[in-house]
Structure 1
């Protein structure tokens, strides 16, 4: 089965990690995989492994951009001749539908509540099947009149390249300093402003922000205003989050909304507990332990949860073990790939 993944970019985000894992694992299920995207380090890595990649300009929610992306995707389809297209997120679904009559399945990684109605209308007219990455996301789609499949995200194992001491040495952090890591784009959805307010209430620890985005300048200014310059590190976009997890004791996500964030699953798979906003797929993942849920936009409660894990090794160890067990039980990559294989073969078999 020839599967063409269509996605806006292949950089450091969670959906991009899913695509890279699916492409690398697809051969075990008889897939020949290609990726059409705006590029990024994950696309380069796949190309170096011999997988077919195509360059597609990012649509950026503009009509002219969508048309340019559709034209490039149409060219990719002519060359690759897929049996099925797997579009990741709504914009990729629209681009794919404009580009080809090949059967399309769309992975719905999530949108803001205000965008759900428009997203549902697009998906209704573009996709033969829609996959929600969490039950909560599926419920929202059902309320909008769709009938999604539910395939929870998986995390594809990636061993660290260096050990804890080496990573901390490179970062200039001592071996006994408590460290929290937030691996998230610096965009409004992720609410780093809430995290900084919370961090001002936690003393004696370092916060690593791995990601970049449109909010960076404002967040750096706010960190300075809060007197956090020495305790918050803006690391920019990183390709080594798995290594950074070795340096961290806890990870934190203060998002306003999420589907099922891969950063959370990667953290739990590395044995690192999570403090996270009580939203959709995050709630599902942490239902069996693995960290602490806090109300959205609640700096004080976020600070208390972070301090509780950073400075209590027994609580941290117990939460880390519970999270690792949950990932192994509920987010196994083989089960994940088998579910997609069955779905895509059904769709491809019904073409025409």
Structure 2
């Protein structure tokens, strides 16, 4: 089965990590895979590994942008001739349907803010043959907005060993071996609420460091906010998050909303406990353990959890204990069965 993944970009985000993992693992379930996207380091890596990668400009939510993206996607469809198109999120689904009106199209809905759900449903009802969500809560939200039946396939990570040991990573960043480190692997965008995290960090005493791995439109504002705080490190976009997890002690995420964040799944796979906002997708990730849920937009409770886990190996060990969770093999099997069914029905 020939599967074309369509996604806006292939950078450091969770959806991008999922696409890269699915492309690499596709051969295990009989797929020939390709990606059409606006590029990024993950696309470059797939190209080096020999997978077809087609360049598509990001749509940018304008009629002209959508038209350009659809035209480039159409060229990719003509060259790769997929049996099914797997589009990640709403804008990619729209451009994919314009580009390939007769191809089976499955959308993977990774999540949007509550205010955007109705608009997303309006588009998906028109363009998608089947919609997959990564969490039960997201499916409930879409169905409640009138989408109809939605398939739930929980996200999973494709485990990778660390390329660099803990001491080497810390030495490269100038962090002493004994210093407690909290890692926040998230884009510096409003959804992720780094302002809440920085307010919490101001309540954490001691010599700990906070590593912010990601970039985005709020970087300047957040750097200014962090000037008065100790130990905050802006690392920018990183391609070595697995190595950073090896060197950190705790992962923290204070988002306003999430689908099912790959960053937290990667942290759990690396046996790092998580401190995260009690929002729908995160709640599902931590249902079997692996971390501490804190109320959304609560610097005080976030700081309390940070103080507990950063300075107590025992508390970290207890918090990291986990029972079950989705795995990559199950994810690929579920997608394979779904895509083959949709392709045959179409």
TM-score for both structures, normalised by structure 2: 0.98
- For structure 2, the 5+ residue unaligned runs are none
What's the CA shift string for 1:263-288, capped at 9, x where partnerless? 00000100000000011110011122
Deviations 1:161-205 (A, max 9, x none): 011111111111111111000000000000000000000000221
* RMSD of aligned residue pairs (Cα, Å): 0.8
The answer to whether residue 255 in structure 2 is matched with residue 255 in structure 1 is yes
Aligned to 1:190: 192
Match of 2:139 in 1: 138
Aligned to 1:123: 124
Tell me what 1:49 maps to.
49
2:219 corresponds to which residue? 216
In structure 1, the residue corresponding to 2:321 is in which secondary structure? Answer: helix
| Aligned twin of 2:325 | 330
- How far did 1:61 drift? 1.4
Tell me the distance in 1 between the aligned counterparts of 2:41 and 2:57. 15
| C-alpha deviation, 1:292, in angstroms | 0.7
TM superposition shift of 1:330: 2.1
5 Å-filtered alignment, 1:82-97, equals 82-97=82-97
* Alignment partners' CA distance in 1, 2:12 and 2:284: 23
Render the CA deviation track for 1:32-73: whole Å, top value 9, x for unaligned.
000000001100111111100000000111221111100100
CA distance in 1, matches of 2:44, 2:36: 12
Query: Following the alignment from structure 1 to structure 2, what is the Cα–Cα distance between the partners of residues 280 and 103?
Result: 30
SS where residue 157 of structure 2 aligns? coil
CA distance in 2: counterparts of 1:192 and 1:218, whole angstroms: 10
The separation in 1 between residues aligned to 2:144 and 2:308, in whole angstroms, is: 37
Aligned residue for 1:155? 157
Q: Matched residue of 1:330: which SS?
A: coil
Q: 1:207 maps to which residue?
A: 210
User: 4+ residue stretches of structure 1 with deviation over 3 A?
Assistant: none
Find the residue that maps to 1:12 and give its secondary structure: coil
Q: What secondary structure, in the 3-state scheme, does the structure 2 residue paired with 1:203 have?
A: coil
SS of 1:71 mapped into structure 2: helix
Which secondary structure state, in structure 2, belongs to the residue aligned with residue 317 of structure 1? Answer: helix
Alignment of 1:165-184 (within 5 A): 165-184=167-186
The 5 Å alignment of 1:335-350 reads 335-350=330-345
Q: How far apart are residue 321 of structure 1 and its match?
A: 2.9
The residue number in structure 2 matching 1:316 is: 316
Matched, 1:108 2:109: yes
Secondary structure of 2:188's counterpart equals coil
1:331 Cα deviation from its structure 2 partner: 1.5
Kept in 1: contact 2:288–2:325 (CA 8 A): no
Counterpart in the other structure of 1:12: 12
Shift of 1:145: 1.5
> How many residues are paired up?
343
Match of 1:74 in 2: 74
Distance, in Å, in 2 between the alignment partners of 1:15 and 1:58 is 15
Partner Cα distance (1:161, 1:76) in 2 = 33
Distance (Å, rounded) in 2 between the aligned partners of 1:248 and 1:203: 18
